[in-house]
């Protein structure tokens, strides 16, 4: 996968993740069953990640991800991206994320990410890994 292909793939993944029109199960189609995520030290497996996707669907009314940088080397991809979201209560969140992905057979098998909140409420710092309301 080259950097342009990786950017297109990640944009599809993030659109499904933050667009309320997509279900958590549609998001799941991009991830392997043995998926592992480390977001700011919070570890999630596949089932927990799907739960996280559902929490986002229940929390956000809209979202947008802007990929600032994407680098790909074989099955490894790195990105720097901004996540802008509006919660159902009208509060806005802006986060900068640095992430490293492992992709096998067209599915994401792991992600390591660091998230920095630029704007938003302190209780939303865990939006990158939240699994309960």
Q: Which CATH number covers residue 19? A: 3.10.450.50
Q: What is the pTM of this model?
A: 0.88
List, in sequence order, every beta strand (DSSP E) within the chain: 31-39, 42-45, 60-73, 76-87, 92-104, 107-119
User: Residues 6 or more apart from 8 whose CB is under 8 A from it?
Assistant: none
Q: Which structural domain range is residue 92 located in?
A: 3-124
Please name the residue that has the structure tokens 């480390």.
Answer: 38
Q: How far is CA 60 from the centre of its chain?
A: 13
Quick one: tokens of 127? 């939006």
The number of domains in the chain is 1
Output the pLDDT for position 27: 92
**Residue 133 falls inside a structural domain:** no
Q: Name the stretches of the chain with pLDDT < 70.
A: 124, 126-133
**Residue 119 falls inside a structural domain:** yes
């Amino acid at each position: 996968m080259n950097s342009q292909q990786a950017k297109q793939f990640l944009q599809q993944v993030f659109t499904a993740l933050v667009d309320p029109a997509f279900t958590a199960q549609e998001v799941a189609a991009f991830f392997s069953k043995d998926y592992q995520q480390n977001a700011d030290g919070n570890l999630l497996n596949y089932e927990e990640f799907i739960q996280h996707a559902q929490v986002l669907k229940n929390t956000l009314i809209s979202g947008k991800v802007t990929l600032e940088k994407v680098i790909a080397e074989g099955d490894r991809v790195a990105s720097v991206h901004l996540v802008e979201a509006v919660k159902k209560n009208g509060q806005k969140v802006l986060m900068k994320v640095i992430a490293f992905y492992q992709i096998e057979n067209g599915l994401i098998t792991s992600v390591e990410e660091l998230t920095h909140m630029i704007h938003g409420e302190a209780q939303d710092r865990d939006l990158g890994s939240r699994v309960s309301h």
